[in-house]
Structure 1
Amino acid sequence: MNHRSTTAFLVISALLLLLAAGCTATPQDTKTLDASGPSPADEAYTRGVVEYADANYRIAEERFGEAYALYTDAGDLDKARTARDAMFRANRTYIEYPLNRSAAEAALREKIPGITDESIADWLDNRAQKIVSEDETLYFYDVAGNYLYAHFDDMRKQNERSLDFDYVARYAWSENRSGEAGPYVNPVHYAGVERLEVPHEALPSSGVLKIWFPLPVETDSQRNVTVTNLSCPEYIVAGPFTTGAIGYVYYEIPAGAVNGDLVLSADIAFTSYEQIFRGIDPAKVGEYDTSDPEYRLYTRSERNIDITDAVREKAREIVGNETNPHLQAQMIYYHIIETYPYSHVPHFSIDARGPKVAESTHMFETGHGDCGTQSMLFSAFCRSLGIPARAIGGYQTIMGETPGAHFWAEYYLPGYGWVPNDPTAAEAADWVVLPDEKRSAFKDYYAANLDPARLVIQKNVDAPMKPALPEGAAIFRIVRQYPAIVSDTADYDIDLFSMMDCFTIDIAAVDQ
C-alpha cells in the first residue's frame, strides 16, 4: 500500500470509528457522531489521527488543538478532553527532539572541543537518537551528552576536575563493614521533607486536581518508614500507603479551594541499610516455587519489562551453558554494563508513541538507555530465564547531597532473598580516570551489593496504584518518583509542567 493509499485508508477508518466507536484517550480512537455527519471538530480530530499515523507529530498536535477548541466551544467536554489528551500525546512524542541537523552538529561542537566532522557525521547518522516528523529528522536534546557517555576518553577529560569519585565510591571501597553478618548492615537514618508547589497562575480555575503524591515504602532494606504532617488531609481520598509495591497518597482537590499557590508537603523519615550479598554460595541457592504468585509476577512480561523472543534468545546466549540463577544474573549484569553504555533517553516519547514499545525493548533494540532502561533490560533478561527480577525506583544521594531520581535492579534467589545491583552506578567508574583494580572493585561491589544512600518509592516499574493513572492524561506513567497531576479542565499539560521544577525532596542523615 503506498503512502497516499495508506492516508486515504486511515481517513476512512477514522471516520468509521467516529460513526461507530466510543471514545478513549488516545489519538487512534474517536467518539460517536450525530446523524448529521462529521462536525468541523470531528474533522479536525480525524485529521489529527491521520497526521499522527503519518508521523507528522507537530501538525497532529495543531489539528488536535483545533478539535479541542471547537469541542470546548460547542460544550462537548468529553470529546474536548479526548482531543486535549491527544494533543498532549502528540506533543510528548516529539518534544524531547528539539534539534535539527545543524543544531545537533553545533551542540556536539560546543560540548566536545576538537570533535571531528567525521565523528559528528558518524554519531548523527548511526548512533544518535532521532525521530522523523514532517519528513524532517529531529535529534534528541542531549545528543552531545550521550556522545560523551559512549566515548569514555572524552568523558574522562570533562570529569577530571568536576567529579569527586572518592566520595562516590565511599561505600564500594570501604573496608569497614562494622563486623555485622549482613545482608542488611550499616543503617543510616534519614529525615526530610517532600514538597510540591505549583504556582497559582498555572492552576485551572475549575474542576478537580487529582494528585498521586509519592512516599517512601517499606522494603527489606528500607525500614521504619514514617510519614507525618501531610498537607490538606481533608482532600486525601486514598492512603497514605507506605507498604506494598509503591508508596503514595492520592488527593482530589477542587481547584476553587486553592487560594494562591498549590502546596503539598510531607515530613518523611526512614532507615536505609547497606546491602551486602558477597557471601552467596551458588550451590546453596534453593529451588523456585513456580506456583507462587510473586514468582509468576516477576517472571512475566509487563508494560516496560518485555520478554520478547529476541530477548529470550540473547539471554540464553549471554549465559551459555550456565544454569545456576545467581551466576546467570551476574553474567547478565556484567553484560549490561559492558554492552549497553548509559545514556539519557526520551522517556516521554517512548511512553507516548504507539504501538507501545517497552523501555527494556527500547534499550535492547537501540543500545540507548539510562538507569531505568538498564535496570528494566536486566530484569527482562533475567525473567526470560525464569529468574524473578524487578526495577526499583526512588532516589539516590551517592553522587552528592541532593537526591537524584534513580532506578536500580533486584533479582530473587531462594534462601537469600532479593539481591540488588546497580548497573548505572557501576558504569560511573568508566567516566573517570581510575586504576584498573579500583574500577573493577567498584563494579564488583554493585554486582550484588548496594549502598544505603537510597530512598525507595516503588518496588518495580509499572507498580499499580488505586485509582490507576489514566492513560493519556498522565505522563511518564512508569515512574512515580514525581507526583502525577491530572486535571479534566486544564488546557495545557499540567502534569508535564509539574515535573519540571515543582517537586523537591530534601533529606539528610540524622542521629537517632
Structure 2
Amino acid sequence: MNRWPRVGDTGMDPVTDLLFIAPRARAIVSPAGRWRTRALAFGLIFALPALVLGLRVSVGPAQAQARAADEAAARELAAIVGLIDAGRFNDARARIDAAAQQPGIDARERAALEFQRERMRRIRLDFTLDRAQAEQKVRAQIPDLTREEFDAWDRQGLLEAMTIDGDTRYFKRAPSNLFRLSAQALARRRADAKPLSAGPMETLNAHQREVRDAALERGYGAPRRVRIAQSLTVAADAVPAGKTVRAWLPYPRELPRQQEAIRFLASAPAAHRLAPASALQRTVYLEQIAQAGKPTRFEVGYELTVYGQYRAIDPDKVVPAPDNAQTRPHLGERAPHLVFTPALREFSRKAVGAETNPYRIAQKLYAAVDAIPWAGAREYSTISNISDYALRAGHADCGQQTLLLMALLRLNGIPARWQSGWVFGDDGYTNMHDWAWMYLAPYGWLPVDVTTGRFDSPDPQLAGFYLGGFDAYRVAYNDDYGRDFVPAKRFDRSETVDSQRGEVEWEGGNLYFDQWDYDYKAQVLTTKQ
C-alpha cells in the first residue's frame, strides 16, 4: 500500500507541491531527496485525516505557532531558490545568512539553506566562461566567425548563459553544444573538426533487429555478457592525511529478464560492503585512509548478463492503467523535478490533443520530447526543477528528457518510473545514460528511451523500437532517482538525482566533482569467457 512520508523519509510518493504548507509554495527537497522542512509532516499529520475522512481538525496554540513557523521557513526557502534561479546570488546569500540566524531553526532546515549556498558555488563551476572566452571557443571551430553571427545565436538562446549579479556567464559546454543545436553553426564548422560523437545504438543496426526478433515471443532476448571495471580517484591532498575517505560506487542489482547472473570479481580496497538488492540506487561502499601527496583510488569489478527488451503493442488492446500497488507510486507529482506546472499542462495539451488511448498518448508525448534536441547538460544538482528546465531551455540531455517525459506521462495517467546507468559497445565505447519505464495495461511495464528516439525505417516495429524496447548494451544501476544509499551518506551528494560516477566524502564534508575523477570500462565477453 502507498504510504505517506515521515520527516526525512526519502521513499516518498508523489503528493509534492506542499499543499499543506503555504499556498502554492514550491516544494523544496534536499539533494538526497529529503524534505528539509517539518511543514510537510505537520500538514500530513493534521490535514490528511480531514481530507480523507471529512473531519474537522483543531490544533492547540503551540501547534499552530509551530506550523506557522514551518510555513514561513518553507516560503523563505522557496524565495531563496527563486533568487538563485534568477541569478541574484548576492540577494540569495543575504537571505540565507538572515534565515540561518533565526531562533528555533533545526539542523535539517539549516542544511537546506547551506545546500543553496553550495548550489551557487556549483553553478559558478558550470558557468565559467565570459563572452570573450565563449566567442573564442566558437571561433576555434569557425575561424571566420563574425560578431554578428555569435550575437544572433546568443539571442536565439543557442548559447546557454546565466546572468549572475549582473555578470553574464556562459555554460562551459555552450560552445560545443552550439553545433548540436544549430544546423547553420554546424555547416560553418571547419572541415577538419572532430565529428560530433554518437553511441553505437543511436542508429538502427543489426542488434535492434536481433532483439526484436528474439523478444517477440517472450519480451526479452539477445543477451550480452559484460565485464565492468569502475574506479574513482580522489585528488592528492583533497583530504588531510590520516582521515578516512568514504566512497560509494554504483553496483547493479538482479532484475529478472533484464540483468542477471551478477558475479562480483574484486574491489580495491578488498574490504567492501554491498548494498542490499532492495536498494533502488545500489552501491558498493569502500573506505581508505588518505595519504599525504598521494591520490586515493577505489575500484570495483564484476560481470553480469544483460537482455534486450521488446514488446509489440496493439494500441486497440491498451486500456487505462489500474490503480494498484504496482502503479500507484509512479503516478502523480514528486517535487521538485516532477511537478505539473501550467507550462507542462499546456505542452501536454498541444501534444496530446483529443487523444484518449494511453499508447497513442505515449506516442505523441514521446515524439514531442524527442523533438527537443540533445545537448550536454549542467550538473543536475544546480537545477531546481529538471522537467521544467527541459521544457524551457530549448535543449536537454537524456536525464532531462526522461524526467520531462515521465512528468508528461504521469500527468496523462500513465505510470512512469526512472531507470539509469551506463551504455557500452563492442569496441570499448561507454557513456552514462538515463531512460524510463511506462506501464501500459495489459502489457505491463515497458522500457522507454526517448533520447535515442525514433528511427527512420519503413518497418514500424524498428522505427519505434525504443518506445517499448531497448538494447542489451546497457547496465542499470538506478531504479529511481534521488534515493538514499546504504550505508547512508552523511553529506549531500555531488549528483543529487543519478548515481553513475560514484560519490565520496570525509568527515569534513562532501567531495565534489572538481576534487576527483572516475573511469568506467566495459568488456563484452564471448561465450567462452
Q: How does 1:1-80 map to 2 (within 5 A)?
A: 14-15=97-98, 17-18=100-101, 20-22=103-105, 24=107
Equivalent residue of 1:14, what SS?
Answer: helix
Letter in 2 for 1:249: V
Q: How does 1:239-250 map to 2 (within 5 A)?
A: 239-250=274-285
State the distance in 2 between where 1:94 and 1:361 align: 21
**Displacement of 1:370:** 0.4
**Displacement of 1:476:** 1.6
| C-alpha distance after superposition, 1:380-429 (max 9, x if no partner) | 110111111123210112595222111122211122222122222237xx
State the distance in 1 between where 2:213 and 2:238 align: 49
Equivalent residue of 2:225, what SS?
Answer: strand
CA contact (8 A) 2:236 2:294 kept: yes
Q: How does 1:51-130 map to 2 (within 5 A)?
A: 88-112=118-142, 115-127=145-157, 128-130=159-161
**Displacement of 1:191:** 2.1
Match of 1:276 in 2: 310
State the distance in 1 between where 2:213 and 2:92 align: 66
The reply on whether 1:292 has 2:325 as its aligned counterpart is yes
Match of 1:213 in 2: 249
Distance 1:509 1:481, change over 3 A: farther
Which of the residues 468, 486, 500 maps onto 2:517? 500
State the distance in 2 between where 1:318 and 1:91 align: 37
| C-alpha distance after superposition, 1:23-53 (max 9, x if no partner) | 65888978xxxxxxxxxxxxxxxxxxxxxxx
The reply on whether 1:316 has 2:349 as its aligned counterpart is yes
Q: How does 1:301-450 map to 2 (within 5 A)?
A: 301-338=334-371, 340-347=372-379, 351-353=380-382, 357-398=384-425, 401-426=428-453, 437=457, 443-450=463-470
Match of 1:474 in 2: 493
Match of 2:73 in 1: none
**Displacement of 1:259:** 11
Distance 1:232 1:287, change over 3 A: same
**Displacement of 1:319:** 1.0
Match of 1:137 in 2: 168
Letter in 2 for 1:268: Y
**Displacement of 1:19:** 5.6
Equivalent residue of 2:344, what SS?
Answer: helix
Equivalent residue of 1:20, what SS?
Answer: coil
Equivalent residue of 1:329, what SS?
Answer: helix
Distance 1:112 1:221, change over 3 A: farther
Distance 1:499 1:174, change over 3 A: farther
State the distance in 2 between where 1:11 and 1:173 align: 58
Match of 1:50 in 2: none
Distance 1:372 1:230, change over 3 A: same
Distance 1:305 1:138, change over 3 A: same
Give me the identity figure in percent.
20
CA contact (8 A) 1:218 1:243 kept: no
State the distance in 2 between where 1:220 and 1:360 align: 30
State the distance in 2 between where 1:460 and 1:502 align: 23
| Higher share in helix | 1
Q: How does 1:150-161 map to 2 (within 5 A)?
A: 150-152=181-183, 155=186, 159=195
State the distance in 2 between where 1:8 and 1:269 align: 50
Equivalent residue of 1:410, what SS?
Answer: strand
CA contact (8 A) 1:394 1:458 kept: yes
Equivalent residue of 2:126, what SS?
Answer: coil
Letter in 1 for 2:377: V
State the distance in 2 between where 1:254 and 1:282 align: 54
Equivalent residue of 1:267, what SS?
Answer: strand
Distance 1:306 1:227, change over 3 A: farther
State the distance in 2 between where 1:358 and 1:26 align: 20
TM-score, structure 1 as length reference = 0.73
State the distance in 2 between where 1:439 and 1:286 align: 25
Distance 1:426 1:155, change over 3 A: farther
CA contact (8 A) 1:146 1:344 kept: yes
Q: How does 1:165-180 map to 2 (within 5 A)?
A: 169-172=205-208, 177-178=213-214
State the distance in 2 between where 1:242 and 1:29 align: 30
| C-alpha distance after superposition, 1:470-499 (max 9, x if no partner) | 56x421211101111122236xx6331455
Match of 1:36 in 2: none
More displaced 10-residue stretch of structure 1: 216-225 or 373-382: 216-225
Equivalent residue of 1:500, what SS?
Answer: strand
State the distance in 1 between where 2:322 and 2:135 align: 54
CA contact (8 A) 1:168 1:398 kept: no
**Displacement of 1:250:** 2.9
| C-alpha distance after superposition, 1:426-462 (max 9, x if no partner) | 37xxxxxxx9657998652223321111111112222
Unaligned runs of 5+ in 2: 1-88, 188-192
Match of 1:197 in 2: 233
Distance 1:146 1:281, change over 3 A: same
State the distance in 1 between where 2:128 and 2:163 align: 11
CA contact (8 A) 1:17 1:29 kept: no
Q: How does 1:218-237 map to 2 (within 5 A)?
A: 218-231=254-267, 236=272
CA contact (8 A) 2:275 2:285 kept: yes
Match of 1:181 in 2: 217
Match of 2:50 in 1: none
**Displacement of 1:98:** 1.4
CA contact (8 A) 2:234 2:516 kept: no
Which of the residues 263, 286, 289 maps onto 2:297? 263
Match of 2:479 in 1: 459
CA contact (8 A) 1:97 1:140 kept: yes
The reply on whether 1:485 has 2:518 as its aligned counterpart is no
**Displacement of 1:316:** 2.8
CA contact (8 A) 1:169 1:442 kept: no
| C-alpha distance after superposition, 1:338-373 (max 9, x if no partner) | 2x11111212xxx455xx622111111222210110
